[in-house]
């Protein structure tokens, strides 16, 4: 034990950031991640404050044969990859600065930054980069796995907007990845996840967005859910380029805009977000209204883009117990609709949810081979089946619900793969299918930059020389 403590003292002396072990105050807080069902006890947590700190921690872990976990301030990996038993957690939460150059429309973002901080900094200049939809998510996982949300139809994935990155490699070197520097690494980190190193800074392209956008949310009960999805199918087929669209099954929240008699009711919300003219947005909302019975409730209003990006935050609080799966559908076919309505109706926990992201527009016009993002670029629906409970009680039932739903819907999916950012430990066999023909190239790049698979707590791609 004396030798281990001495080694950690060496790490403390070498880092500018703090080091926390099981013997230190604050250890239980330091080992927590967003998913409350993850209860692991790392040997040490290193709160790095710079790329040099990260390089030191990586080298230390390699020499001490400690398994590495990497996490941002969000620690949102539902699979719990951001913390492991008996290893080292390289925590990036103190590398979270966001520096915006509004003239060049670029931002430099620390690897541990939260999405809400990026949105706040960029929106101060009327700019934004496509990110996810939960403000307290860390940008690192979003950007390296793909990154999809409300702006995907307009400007592509987060990884499509990455122009350079600072990366700490498995051998402790700090390198720049860009089209003209380590281009193979640059290709791989845009969709290949955390397999290739620890990204301590992202440089991203920004776009004019907001500050006000148009929101339309129409909520229908389960009796009208099948018709709502079929109408959505028709509307999605010719959406204006400045409009984004989602379908979300959830229990209606206890918000002032929801009539009291419908709060807590299970149904489907058709969400329409406009980034252009009010007329364009209202046209899509009108098509949904005209084709369906009156919604149980509506929320149609302009709102700040930053508020839109925080809209689902309260539904995904820290400490929630979570199990989820993801797959892609080509569209709301009749067969898929039948499965969706049947299984969504079995959602028991009021916290669980089912999201259908519409991926088309700029997502589909991006060059397929330009990044490592897997799964293809044809227009599609990315489906997120999310089982959530406030505590451990009930999670086993939600896990059964998620798996049963996934198994029933998989025959309608585009492939056997899925979105790598949503993979649970029991999805590891799906990783090759998720990348398809890109997998072999990723495995070769992995061998070049991490031949010993030091970074394997992720949707792992083992190195192949």
Residue 453 has pLDDT above 50, yes or no: yes
Residue 458 inside a domain? The answer is no
Listed residues 91, 119, 138: the one ending a domain: 91
Residue 382 has pLDDT above 70, yes or no: yes
Q: Tell me, yes or no, whether 309 and 374 share the same domain.
A: yes
Average pLDDT for residues 5-13, to the nearest whole number? Answer: 82
Residue 46 inside a domain? The answer is yes
Q: What is the pLDDT of residue 1?
A: 40
E strands within 207-329?
207-208, 212-221, 243-251, 266-274, 297-304, 321-329
Average pLDDT for residues 159-166, to the nearest whole number? Answer: 98
Residue 242 has pLDDT above 60, yes or no: yes
Q: What is the pLDDT of residue 219?
A: 98
Model-level pTM? Answer: 0.96
Listed residues 66, 91, 116: the one ending a domain: 91
Q: Tell me, yes or no, whether 48 and 10 share the same domain.
A: yes
Burial of 240 (0-12, 13-18, 19+ CB in 10 A): middle
Number of domains in the chain: 3
* Domain interval for residue 292: 212-425
Q: What is the pLDDT of residue 465?
A: 82
Q: Tell me, yes or no, whether 222 and 201 share the same domain.
A: no
Torsion, Cα of 361, 327, 437, 183 (10° steps) = 60
Q: Tell me, yes or no, whether 239 and 368 share the same domain.
A: yes
Q: What is the pLDDT of residue 459?
A: 96
CATH number at residue 204: 3.30.465.10
Q: Please give the radius of gyration of the chain, using alpha carbons only, rounded to the nearest integer.
A: 22
Q: Tell me, yes or no, whether 313 and 222 share the same domain.
A: yes
Q: Tell me, yes or no, whether 315 and 382 share the same domain.
A: yes
Q: Tell me, yes or no, whether 105 and 34 share the same domain.
A: no
Residue 459 inside a domain? The answer is no
Listed residues 73, 91, 109: the one ending a domain: 91
CATH number at residue 55: 3.30.43.10
Residue 462 inside a domain? The answer is no
Q: How far apart are CA 15 and CA 6, in angstroms?
A: 14
Residue 432 inside a domain? The answer is no
Residue 460 inside a domain? The answer is no
Residue 395 inside a domain? The answer is yes
Q: How far apart are CA 48 and CA 136, in angstroms?
A: 19
Residue 431 inside a domain? The answer is no
Q: Tell me, yes or no, whether 275 and 405 share the same domain.
A: yes
CATH number at residue 300: 3.40.462.20
Q: What is the pLDDT of residue 413?
A: 97
Q: Tell me, yes or no, whether 52 and 147 share the same domain.
A: no
Q: Tell me, yes or no, whether 54 and 75 share the same domain.
A: yes
User: Could you tell me the pLDDT band of residue 7, with boundaries at 50, 70 and 90?
Assistant: confident
Hey, what are 413's tokens?
């999916």
Q: What is the pLDDT of residue 6?
A: 53
Residue 395 has pLDDT above 50, yes or no: yes
pLDDT 10s digits, 126-141: 999 999 999 999 999 9
- Residue 272, beta-bridge partner list: 216, 245
Residue 3 has pLDDT above 60, yes or no: no
Average pLDDT for residues 238-257, to the nearest whole number? Answer: 97
Q: How far apart are CA 319 and CA 36, in angstroms?
A: 4
Q: Tell me, yes or no, whether 226 and 360 share the same domain.
A: yes
Q: Tell me, yes or no, whether 186 and 285 share the same domain.
A: no
Contact predicate 20/45, CB 8 Å: yes
Q: What is the pLDDT of residue 4?
A: 44
Q: What is the pLDDT of residue 297?
A: 98
**Distance of alpha carbon 421 from its chain centroid, rounded?**
6
């Amino acid at each position: 034990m004396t030798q281990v403590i001495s080694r950690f003292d060496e790490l403390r002396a070498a880092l500018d950031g703090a080091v926390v072990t099981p013997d230190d105050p604050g250890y239980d807080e330091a080992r927590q991640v967003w998913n409350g069902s993850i209860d692991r006890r790392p040997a040490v947590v290193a709160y790095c404050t710079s790329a040099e700190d990260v390089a030191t921690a990586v080298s230390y872990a390699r020499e001490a044969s400690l398994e590495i976990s990497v996490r941002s301030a969000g620690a949102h990996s539902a699979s719990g990859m951001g913390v492991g038993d008996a290893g080292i957690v390289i925590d990036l939460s103190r590398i979270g600065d966001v520096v915006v150059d509004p003239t060049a429309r670029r931002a430099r973002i620390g690897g541990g930054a939260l999405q809400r901080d990026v949105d706040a900094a960029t929106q101060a200049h009327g700019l934004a980069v496509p990110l996810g939809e939960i403000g307290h998510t860390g940008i690192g996982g979003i950007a390296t796995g793909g990154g999809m949300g409300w702006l995907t139809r307009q400007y592509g994935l987060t990884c499509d907007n990455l122009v350079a990155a600072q990366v700490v490699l498995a051998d402790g070197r700090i390198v720049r990845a860009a089209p003209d520097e380590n281009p193979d690494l640059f290709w791989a980190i845009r969709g290949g996840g955390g397999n290739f190193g620890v990204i301590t800074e992202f440089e991203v392209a920004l776009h004019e967005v907001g500050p006000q956008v148009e929101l339309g949310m129409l909520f229908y009960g389960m009796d009208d859910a099948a018709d709502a999805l079929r109408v959505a199918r028709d509307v999605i087929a010719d959406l204006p380029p400045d409009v984004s669209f989602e379908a979300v099954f959830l229990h209606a929240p206890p918000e002032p805009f929801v009539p009291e008699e419908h709060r807590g009711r299970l149904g489907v919300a058709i969400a329409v977000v406009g980034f252009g003219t009010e007329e364009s947005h209202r046209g899509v909302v009108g098509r949904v209204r005209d084709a369906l019975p009156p919604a149980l409730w509506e929320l149609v209003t302009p709102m700040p883009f930053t508020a839109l990006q925080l809209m689902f935050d309260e539904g995904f609080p820290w400490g929630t117990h979570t199990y989820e799966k993801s797959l892609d559908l080509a569209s709301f076919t009749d067969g898929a609709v039948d499965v969706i309505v049947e299984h969504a109706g079995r959602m028991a926990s009021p916290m669980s949810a089912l999201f259908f992201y519409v991926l088309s527009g700029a997502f589909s016009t991006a060059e397929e081979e330009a990044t490592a993002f897997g799964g293809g670029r044809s227009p599609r629906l990315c489906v997120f089946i999310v089982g959530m409970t406030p505590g451990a009680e009930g999670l086993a039932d939600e896990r059964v619900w998620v798996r049963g739903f996934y198994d029933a819907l998989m025959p309608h999916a585009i492939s056997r793969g899925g979105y790598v950012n949503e993979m649970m430990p029991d999805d590891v066999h799906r990783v090759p299918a998720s990348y398809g023909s890109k997998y072999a190239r990723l495995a070769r790049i992995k061998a070049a930059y991490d031949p010993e698979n030091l970074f394997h707590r992720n949707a792992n791609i083992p190195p192949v020389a």
